[in-house]
Structure 1
Amino acid sequence: MRVGIGKLSLKRKKYLRHDYRIDGEDLPQEKNRINKKALAISSVAVLFPFSLLNFVAGTYQSIRNELSKTIEKPTIFDVVGSKWEDSLSIKNLFIPALPTNIYLFSLLASTLVGFLVYSKFNYRSDENVAYGQKGDSRFTTIEEIREQYREIPEKIEVFEGYGGVPVSHYKDKYYIDQDTVNTAILGVSRSGKGEMIVVVMIDNLSRAKNQSSMVVNDPKGELYSASKETLEKRGYDVQVLNIEEPLQGMSYNPLQLVIDAWVNGDDQEAAKRANTLTFSLYNDPNAGDNAFFNTSAQNAINGIILAIVDYCVKNNCMEKVTMHNVSQMLNELGTFYYKENPDDFVEKNALDEYFKSLPQGSVAKMQYGSTSFAGEKAKGSILATANQGLQTFADKMFAKMTSKSSLDLKQVGFPKNLFFQLDERFLNKRVTVSFHKNDNKKTEINSYKIKVKSLGMCNMNFDDSLENGDLLLIRYQDEENPNKKYRLLYSLKFETLLDEKGKVVYQKKEGNEDKAEYKQQVTLIKRANTFPLEPKVKLTYSEKPTAVFMIVPDYDKSNHVLASIFVKQLYTELSMNCSDTKGKKCFRRVHFLLDEFGNMPAIDDMGGVLTVCAGRNMLFNLVLQSYSQIEKLYDKQAKEIKQNCQNHLYIMSTDPETIEEISKRAGHKTIIGKSSNESHLDADNKVTKSADQQRIISPDRLSQFLEGETLVIRALHRQDLNRKKVRPYPIFNTQEMTMPYRWQFLSSLFDTSNDLNDIDIPSLHTGLDLTDLYLNFLDFIINPVAKREYMRKQSANEVVKAELILDDVIKSLIELVKEKRNVDDPKEIRTRLAQLLLNYAKNNVVPKLDEVKYLNEQSSDHEIKRNLEELIRILTD
């Protein structure tokens, strides 16, 4: 098809053009405009001699005319000897006194001189030598920062929108990046990363009108102790994943996501989630020739996890799906060899035989497969490697912590959720879910269309505000058969939260201290149901943002892996909920503030996480000492991780490669290089100019930053607050723009001198009896001969087992006393209990039965009584 050229419009469409000038938009090119300075000098060179000649000629003519009145023919001597001062006048500049040809000649000569002068001075102009051709980067001005970033008060006041990374500070205002971006924060130890950036971010994220949830890596626990009270006053649900003191903090079962997927009927997804967990346990980028054993160990543990999940779901004991039981199964069955016949030459392994007995297609069997194929020597190495990776969960304190879950991970980004299960006849059908006010008109709050997934499961996140007495309606109408319709109606009851003693728990949010706290799980009161089978429905609701502090001791890295597992599992859970949610992103923004990120164990697929997380409203802030940390930890992924950090905030580094990279990223400018060829006796000295390239900030300056100075590389911030395009020049915070330290203005709200030991951290698992969760591994032994042999060995270990149980009970009682759970008991009872525990812990003195019974009768705390009753049972047996 031919198109007439005349009909084509050369004018760009409105959305492809802008009607304003963008600084730095044009590429550098040679300056061809008039040199004003040279033009002024050359104009003077033209006009001055021309005007001087006319002035002299006019003055001469004026004197001569005056003399001609008394002298007939005045001579030049008469003119010179006259009183010429009286004839001097500015008018002589403008009165023609010479013939035209002389004027033309003089003008031509003056113009030639002026041109030569202009050429000389214009040649010497620096603009014609250096015009940005070797770099035209520069630093952002404070005026530009004000136009491009949100200005917020430096403390206390609430402000509109979200909080974010502080990119600059001027007078008493911060300028923050509210965009969905990831940030790498670079600062060597003791450079002020926490004081200038991390605490300031915790403050502004919690002060924003749109409060963000936070996940904070806190190696020393000082961020938690400094922030807890202030965050709770601002309405946060503050949780602690305490790897330093596992019995003080939240409960976290890393297998909960595996359980959820399996219960939902998706065994392949369960296998993927198990693999994500075990990757963190066994991944070693420096394994070299041992990589095979690490990978095989990972697969073996995947198989054991899935086998236990399958067993517990079938036997309705899902509370026993724990990593401690995974460790137990590996040790119990992996080390148990038997002969089916006494005359057999080869012994069989109970763990191998169990997986061989599983049906074809079992995901657990497929995961374990490589271990079954290995020779005996290789198998021993695989199982030894597997056991080594599970040492964290073999520890009794961590076993307790990882046997429960006190935090629903999705509440961090989706605090309001509805889950229900219909019967499978509704698979792939769409049901309508709506919330209504319980008024006469049953006013609709909002409605949603939900597609029913496998096993009739429906998961719906919402962001509506609900109140006590509101209605929940689930309905279905068959499009082909209008008479085939079902409905389920509930009224909502928000129940008051009570503590262990049955007392009402009140809110800690400032201004709401007299209001009761509500349970997150809403009670649903059925009003009507016409579905064939009654659906299972669960509604969780919270208006609170969540802050999770991961206290990970820097002096003991043996259990750091739990923090990395938690971060990846949280990200995975939120991402899966994003895929089920309209808009495909978290309703509440989530900031990961990973202090000492370079010292955390590698997080599975971290490069891929950073590639897509921002679009899901999850932002990562990676606090590093240098780039070399992620290069060592993530190897080939390091480049991808750096590239997906849109902001790079430099504080200070002693690593030459990091300093060099930051200096290069900041950019270059063009300067004039001069060289001279001169001698003392030469009359003509030559100076040569050339355009040279120079960093806008040198590596030397970067390595010698003053306190409070920072440099921000912000490659993706290309719009100002009015959505006009801007060029993202780097920001150098120096002099009046230096960043203040927390202690200078925030110490009253965030006091890092607070002692972690002065804070009572509640825990659900402190008094947990692990023996209640033990599995009977006889159920996993297939051969009858092997079962009898296993039972014979177990009976011989009963005495040892009783001693281990006694140790667990005593440790639980010690922790309960540390928590001051018996503070309401008489002083005598508290003293006697403390003495009993001290005698056992220090001198291994077994408590007397009568003393324990007496203490049990006098104690008031439920958990202490339960443990004392268990102690009585052990002593009686």
Structure 2
Amino acid sequence: MKRLQAILPAAMGLFTLFWLGDKIGYQIRTDLDEGTSVIDLMNRFWLDLYHPFHLSTNHTDLLCGIAAMGVGLLIWAYKYTARLNLRSGEEHGSAHWGAPKDIKPFIDPVESHNIRFTATERLSIDTRRTLRNLNALLLGSSGSGKTRYYVKPNLLSVDMNWTVTDPKGELKRDTEHAMRDRGYQVNTLDLIHLDRSDQFNPMRYIDSKEPQSAILRLTDNLVTNATGDRKTGDSFWQDAEKALLCALIAWTYYTENNPTLNQVTDTLDRMGASEQDEDKEYIIDALFAETQTEIHRMCEHPDDYDEETQSMLDGLAFACAQYNTFLKGAGETKKSIIITTGVHLAPLQVREVRRILDGDDIRLETLDQGKRIIYLELPDTNATFSFIASVFYQCLFETLVRKADAKPDGVLDRDVHCMLDEFANIGKIPNFVRLIATIRSRRISCSIILQTVSQGKSLYRDDWETIAGNCDSQLFLGGNEPSTTKYISDRLGDQTIDVIETSETKGLNGSWTRSTRKNARKLLTPDELGRIPTNRCIYLLRGIPPFLSGKLCHL
């Protein structure tokens, strides 16, 4: 059909040219045969056009019609080959600032159904209508107002459920009362004032359908974030720690009715290794050895074990496999692994931390039910407990994704948004690169809040571009850090400007000339971004021009 629609106008045009050529040829030929003068021909060649249905079949007239078509085809061919792809005023770029009409289609008429970015720009939380995700990347130096001009106004106005990273605890102090007045249930994982914190048990959120995979992810998170950055040569010790810790977590999960990380650290305290007698067996070694004997017995006589016991022993086989990896080291090596693991998990031995980990009243699986907000308070002067924050967000994302996937429509009951303030201080969240690309469809979203782009790159390295690319909204609140201003400048793009050049030659025969040309220029250069007024910010939404607007006022 499309091909026919393209051919039909061309065929009609060619026929029209043939018709004109045939009729004009007929009129001129008959007039010449009758002896009409050339001057009279100029006034008569079109007369046969008054008879549109008359078509001459004389070979001369037919040739005139064909010639007319040929001339038409030659003109078309010339224009086609000589045509120019002109975008006047956009020769070097088409970047320009957005206007109210650009953002209007993305704003919900109900004010509480919009995430607010600037004094004039908002984004509806209905992602199916806007076809934009709610993930946001916020960049702003210290003091630029990331909390004041973005986090607080949205907490106090948008109808969503929240988890909020709260450096120093100021955010909870300023908003808790208002959130309770709005009907929100408030929970707090307080890693600043440990005695005020609600309880949080990571092992409660291990997926009962795929526990071994979940245990591996939890172990990797604990070791990676508790040990911090390591040199490549230290990977052996980190891998050895993972094997040991994975074995202890799996052992605890399958043998305890209400497993906690406290039981894991207690088991680690009961371990030992001898440099002089490598065959010496400690109490934990004996427990694993007895378990392996029982596993072999079950494999030989499976009918002697009920289904529940078989399931437990299958899980313990995984724990034993990890423990056997640890046992392959020499006595001195095993002792070093035990000591190193104990040192890195030392924060879990703090009395108030043990109280926090001993139960769970945060109930992450109910975060989408009713109105709820969870504050995660982190100290901004040290990173002692940052790995607990990373474990918290791992449990949060895995639990909510699992819950959404179990629902018939595949989404949570309410939108859940994570305000990841001081994102670099949380630690590396496992599988975050994949999560941020997929959680949108489940009504989960994040605001990644950083001081500089380099913070994100140092934490996630090559994956950082993927994370930033999955944030449809980006907000720059000000700063001078070179990598950040360059990143925003590149995102704003190039515009085409007119450059006026003048030259003057002085003297007896002096001259003066003036010329204009087109040139490319950044919408804002990096140095100009560093000088934007403190009450202004830049908002970028995928697919429309950027906005230079006033910062959002704190309610």
The question of whether the paired residues in 2 share the 8 Å contact of 1:668 and 1:693 is answered with yes
CA distance change for structure 1 residues 662 and 555 in 2, over 3 Å: closer, same or farther?
same
Select the structure of larger CA radius of gyration: 1
SS of residue in 2 equivalent to 1:189: coil
Shift of 1:395: 0.9
Q: Which residue identity is paired with 1:163? A: N
Contact 1:659 1:702 in 2 (8 A): yes
Task: Indicate whether 1:640 and 2:466 are aligned.
Answer: yes
Contact 2:394 2:430 in 1 (8 A): yes
Q: Give the equivalent residue in structure 2 for 1:428.
A: none
Distance 1:556 1:617 in 2: 33
- Write out aligned runs for 1:614-629 (5 A): 614-629=440-455
Matched position secondary structure for 1:197: helix
* Pair 1:167-2:117 in alignment: yes
Give a deviation string over 1:517-567, Cα, whole Å, max 9, x none. xxxxxxxxxxxxxxxxxxxxxxxxxxx211000111112321121111111
Aligned residue type for 2:517: S
Q: Partners of 1:6 and 1:623 in 2: how far apart?
A: 49
2:100 to 132, 142, 151: 142
Residue 391 (structure 1) shift: 1.2
1:564 to 2:497 alignment: no
Alignment size in residue pairs: 448
Q: For residue 619 of structure 1, report the CA deviation from its aligned partner.
A: 0.6
Indicate which of 350, 357, 360 corresponds to 1:402. Answer: 357
Identify the residue that residue 288 of structure 1 maps to in structure 2: 232
Q: Quote the residue 1:655 is aligned against.
A: 481
What amino acid is aligned across from residue 302 of structure 1 in structure 2? C
Question: Does the CA contact (< 8 Å) of 1:338 and 1:349 recur in 2?
Answer: no
Partner in structure 2 of residue 309 of structure 1: 253
* Residues 345/311 of structure 1: CA separation in 2 closer, same or farther (3 Å cut): closer
Determine the C-alpha separation between the residues in 1 that align with 2:134 and 2:2.
Answer: 46
Change (3 A) 1:589 1:622: same
C-alpha distance after superposition, 1:663-685 (max 9, x if no partner): 11001111122333431234553
Provide the C-alpha distance between the structure 2 equivalents of 1:703 and 1:286, rounded to a whole number of angstroms. 34
Alpha-carbon shift at residue 612 of structure 1 (Å): 0.7
Contact in 2 for aligned 1:186/1:624 (Cα 8 Å): yes
Which amino acid in 2 is paired with 1:329? Answer: T
| TM-score normalised by L of structure 1 | 0.48
Give yes or no for the alignment of 1:222 onto 2:49: no
Structure 1 residue 687, shift from structure 2 partner? 3.1
Contact 2:273–2:280 under 8 Å retained in 1: no
RMSD after superposition: 2.6
1:623, CA displacement in angstroms?
0.8
Q: CA 1:550–1:606 in structure 2 vs 1: closer, same or farther (change >3 Å)? A: same
Look up the SS of the partner of 1:348 in the other structure.
Answer: coil
- Residue correspondence of structure 1 range 451-470 to structure 2 within 5 A: none
Taking the TM superposition and a 5 Å limit, the aligned residue runs for 1:242-253 are: 242-253=190-201
Alignment of 1:213-362 (within 5 A): 213-258=161-206, 261=208, 266-272=210-216, 274-275=218-219, 277-282=221-226, 284-312=228-256, 318-319=257-258, 321-332=259-270, 334-335=271-272, 346-357=279-290, 358=292, 359=295, 362=317
How far, CA to CA, are the matches of 1:249 and 1:563 in structure 2? 13
Structure 1 contact 267–363 (Cα < 8 Å) conserved: no
Matches of 1:712 and 1:6, distance apart in 2: 41
1:269 positional shift: 4.3
CA distance in 1, matches of 2:540, 2:194: 39
Q: Aligned residue for 2:13?
A: none
The alignment partner of 2:113 has SS state of coil
- Pairwise CA distance, 1:709: 0.6
1:182 deviates by: 0.7
1:204: Cα distance to partner?
1.8
Q: Deviations over 1:281-308 (max 9, x none)?
A: 4564543211221122122111101112
Instruction: In structure 2, list runs of 5 or more residues that go unmatched.
Output: 8-85, 128-132, 297-313
| Structure 2 residue aligned with 1:714 | 541
Hey, what's the Cα distance between the residues in 1 that align with 2:166 and 2:2?
Answer: 68
Native 8 Å contact 1:282 1:298 kept in 2: no
- Judged with a 3 Å threshold, the aligned counterparts in structure 2 of structure 1 residues 693 and 281 are, in CA distance, closer, same or farther, namely closer
In structure 1, distance between residues paired with 2:414 and 2:223: 28
SS at match of 1:586: coil
| CA pair 299-336 structure 1, distance change in 2 beyond 3 A | closer
Alignment of 1:525-674 (within 5 A): 544-674=370-500
User: Is the Cα–Cα contact under 8 Å of residues 505 and 512 in structure 2 kept in the other structure?
Assistant: yes
Q: Distance in 1 between matches of 2:512 and 2:344?
A: 76
Q: Is the 8 A contact 1:648 1:714 kept in 2?
A: yes
The residue identity in structure 2 corresponding to 1:324 is N
Summarize deviations over 1:744-776 as a string: whole Å, max 9, x none.
xx3xxxxxxxxxxxxxxxxxxxxxxxxxxxxxx
Offset, 1:692: 1.0
User: Structure 1 CA distance, aligned partners of 2:273 and 2:330?
Assistant: 17
CA distance in 2 between counterparts of 1:701 and 1:142 reads: 24
Of structures 1 and 2, the one scoring higher in RCO (CA 8 A, sep 6+) is: 2
Q: Deviations along 1:666-724, whole A, 9 cap, x unmatched?
A: 01111122333431234553334332110111212210121221101212xx4xxxxxx
Task: Give CA-to-partner distance per residue, 1:779-806, whole Å, 9 cap, x none.
Answer: xxxxxxxxxxxxxxxxxxxxxxxxxxxx
Deviations 1:818-837 (A, max 9, x none): xxxxxxxxxxxxxxxxxxxx
SS at match of 1:247: helix
CA contact (8 A) 1:271 1:363 kept: no
Partner Cα separation in structure 1 for residue 479 and residue 199 of structure 2: 37
Structure 2 distance, partners of 1:168, 1:283, is 39
The structure-2 alpha-carbon separation of the partners of 1:377 and 1:675, relative to structure 1 and needing over 3 Å to count, comes to farther
1:739 and 2:551 correspond: yes
What displacement does 1:224 show? Answer: 0.8
Give me the whole-angstrom Cα distance separating, in 1, the residues matched to 2:530 and 2:429. 30
Structure 1 residue runs of 5 or longer lacking an equivalent are 12-127, 152-158, 206-210, 313-317, 416-543, 719-727, 747-877
Q: Counterparts of 1:506-517 in structure 2 under 5 Å?
A: none
Change over 3 Å in CA distance of 1:683–1:551 after alignment to 2: same
Question: How far apart, in 2, do the equivalents of 1:186 and 1:338 lie?
Answer: 52
User: Using the alignment, how far apart are the partners of 1:370 and 1:556 within structure 2?
Assistant: 34
Please give the per-residue CA displacement for 1:420-471, whole angstroms capped at 9, x wherever unaligned.
xxxxxxxxxxxxxxxxxxxxxxxxxxxxxxxxxxxxxxxxxxxxxxxxxxxx
Matched position secondary structure for 1:307: helix
2:546 is matched with: 730
Match of 2:324 in 1: 369
Partner SS, residue 169 of structure 1 = coil
Read off the aligned partner of 2:114 and give its amino acid letter.
Answer: G
Partner of 2:66: none
- Going from structure 1 to structure 2, the CA distance change for 1:683 and 1:276 (only over 3 Å counts) comes to same
Distance change (3 Å), C-alpha of 1:684 and 1:594: same
Distance 2:480 2:331 in 1: 49
Cα distance, 1:346 vs structure 2: 4.5
Corresponding residue for 1:485? none
Cα pair 2:274 2:331 within 8 Å, conserved: no
Q: Is 1:212 aligned with 2:160?
A: yes
Which residue number in structure 2 is paired with residue 387 of structure 1? 342
Task: Give the counterpart letter for 2:186 in structure 1.
Answer: V
Q: d(CA) in 1 for partners of 2:283 and 2:235?
A: 26
Percent identity for Structure 1 against Structure 2: 20
More helix by share: 2
Return the alpha-carbon distance in structure 2 between the equivalents of residues 283 and 163 of structure 1.
40
Relative to 1, partners in 2 of residues 1:147 and 1:304: Cα closer, same or farther, differing over 3 Å? closer
1:694 paired residue among 496, 511, 521:
521
Distance 1:274 1:130, change over 3 A: closer
Counterpart code for 2:194: P
